[in-house]
Structures are given as C-alpha cells and as structure tokens.
C-alpha cells in the first residue's frame, strides 16, 4: 500500500506552543502544573502530559469552580495555572488569577487576535457575530469579550433568527471552521447589514489542513484516514471535508482503531491529522498501513 502523508499533519504552532509552556514549568520542577480544562483536544496527548506532572482540572468548557486540593500557601506558590490553547473569557481569567498561584496564558495567539478584534469593536459599540460552535470552549471564551452584544451562528437560519443588531456589526469566525462556509455566511449577513465589518479569522493552520485534503485527493488517494480526537473541532471538520470529496473517510484516534481488513482493498491511502494530534500517533498509523 502506498501511504501519502499530508504535509500539514500534526501539531499546529499554537498547540505546540501551549504544550511547550506547560512542559517548561514541569521541567523546572513546578508541581503541579494545572490546566483549566484540557490544554489541547487530544486525550492521548493529555494522558502523556499527565504522566509528566501536568494535571487537567475543571471541565471541558472551563466554566466550573476548581477543586485543586492545595492545602496551604506553600503548595500554591509551587503550583502554576496554565490557560488552555483555546483561550478563556475575561471573567474566567479574573477567577483563575484569584486562586493565588502563578498564572501563565497559553492561549493560541491566533485566538488572541480574534479576541482582540472583538474587544476593540465592542468598545466602539459594535455587536459581534461569531461563526462557530456555541458549545466549543474557544467560542465560549470569545463571547466573553463581546460586552453582552455577541451572537453565535453557523447557518443561514441562525442569521435569520438574530434580533435586530443595530448599525454597528462585526463578524469573526472560530479559528477552526470551513473557510467557504464563513465566506458564504458573511455575504448572507451583509444582505441585512451591508455595512458589517467582516474579519476572516480562520487560522492559517486550519486553512492549510483543509487545502491538503484536496491535495491528497489530487495525488490519487482512494481513501483518507483522519487522525485525531473525536471532540477536536478541526479534526471533525477535516473528516467532513474528506466526505465532501466523495472519498471514504476513516476517522481514528490511534493506530489500534484501524480496520486493516477493510483498508486492504485500497492501493493508495492518504493520511492527515488534526492540529492537536501528536506526531508519534501519525507515525504509528503510517507504519501500520505501510505493512499492508
């Protein structure tokens, strides 16, 4: 079997940066290194980080109060709270800083840029429309910058259901969405709000991964394997994009999930992965396929 590996498969720079920040503290002897919710959306990598002294606390959405189990001020001084790559709301930031330990922000700079757009325009009286998943932690964090003038949409029907937004409207996107969907919905929004300011904030890593799916198809892949967490937004989007190419898609988290008997009917298979998928998991999948 010929295995074609997408050039973009593996950690994006924002994820790699967040992991490096947490590991730096653990290496220096900070104990424990807390992350408010999963630092990244890959359970295998989070288990690996936990073995290195990096401990996930709280919930998936970074909304609940934290039970840290620190008994005195000395323990707090030795601990550090690292903000997840997806970012958090300003209210959550204040709460985490109030816990009495060192605070380090590992928010992806691309997400920080989106927050900056929202914050700047909210101060000028703009209502923000965010294209994204309302239950995704990135979007929940971004909504905190809208000064209670934010709305999340992901369909034309969602735009139709919006209340009157007033004369000042700006639109941004969750960083891991489809570019073509954002552009379509931005034009749809402008039918009602022609003066709306539109900022395409889908990150470069997401665009590159989406483009590489097309490249794999052009290179002759008869099926494409997408590696990554099933709760990873950008990984799920990649799998959906493969299906849009009318190619069989196999979404797996590890090589153990590969159905080799079924995959054996293909002579050429493409492999890509989400932005939170570590390289060693991709290597294991490619090696197992190459043995067919």
State the catalytic residues: 138
CA–CA separation, 288 vs 292, rounded Å? Answer: 7
Q: Report how far apart the first and last C-alpha atoms of the chain are (Å, whole number).
A: 6
CA distance 26 to 79: 10
Judged by DSSP in three states, 74 sits in: helix
The alpha carbon of residue 90 and the mean position of all alpha carbons in its chain are separated, in whole angstroms, by 19
| Diameter over CA atoms, the chain | 61
Q: What whole-number distance in Å separates Cα of residue 238 and Cα of residue 205?
A: 12
Return the structure tokens found at 226.
């997408």
DSSP calls for 186-229 = HHHHHHH-TT-EE-----HHHHHHHHHHHHHHHTT-SEEEEES-
CA distance 249 to 238: 9
Q: Residue 273's closest CA among 12, 14, 3, 86? A: 12
Phi, psi torsion values for 120, nearest 5 degrees: -60, -45
Closest Cα to residue 277, out of 10, 8, 4, 7? 10
d(CA 48, CA 54): 9
């Amino acid at each position: 079997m010929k295995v074609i590996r997408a050039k973009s498969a593996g950690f994006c720079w924002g994820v790699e940066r967040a992991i490096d920040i947490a590991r730096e503290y653990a290496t220096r002897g900070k104990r424990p290194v807390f992350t408010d919710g999963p630092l990244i959306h890959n359970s295998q990598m989070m288990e690996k980080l936990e073995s290195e002294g990096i401990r996930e606390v709280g919930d998936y959405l970074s909304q609940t109060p934290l039970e840290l189990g620190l008994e005195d001020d000395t323990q707090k001084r030795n601990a550090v709270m690292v903000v997840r790559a997806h970012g958090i709301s300003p209210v959550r930031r204040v709460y985490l800083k109030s816990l009495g330990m060192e605070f380090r922000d590992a928010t992806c700079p691309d997400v920080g840029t989106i927050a900056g757009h929202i914050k700047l325009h909210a101060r000028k009286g703009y209502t923000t429309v965010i294209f994204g998943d309302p239950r995704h932690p990135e979007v929940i964090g971004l909504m905190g910058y809208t000064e209670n003038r934010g709305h999340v949409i992901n369909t034309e029907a969602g735009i139709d259901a919006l209340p009157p937004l007033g004369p000042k409207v700006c639109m941004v996107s969750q960083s891991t969405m489809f570019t073509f969907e954002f552009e379509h919905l931005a034009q749809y929004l402008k039918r009602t709000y022609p003066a709306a300011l539109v900022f395409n904030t889908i990150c470069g890593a997401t665009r590159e991964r989406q483009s590489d799916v097309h490249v794999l198809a052009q290179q002759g892949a008869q099926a494409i394997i997408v590696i990554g967490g099933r709760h990873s937004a950008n990984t799920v989007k990649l799998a959906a994009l493969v299906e849009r190419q009318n190619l069989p898609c196999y979404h797996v988290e590890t090589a153990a999930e590969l159905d080799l008997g079924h995959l054996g009917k293909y002579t050429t298979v493409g492999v890509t992965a989400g932005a939170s998928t570590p390289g060693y998991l991709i290597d294991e999948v490619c090696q197992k396929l190459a043995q067919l």
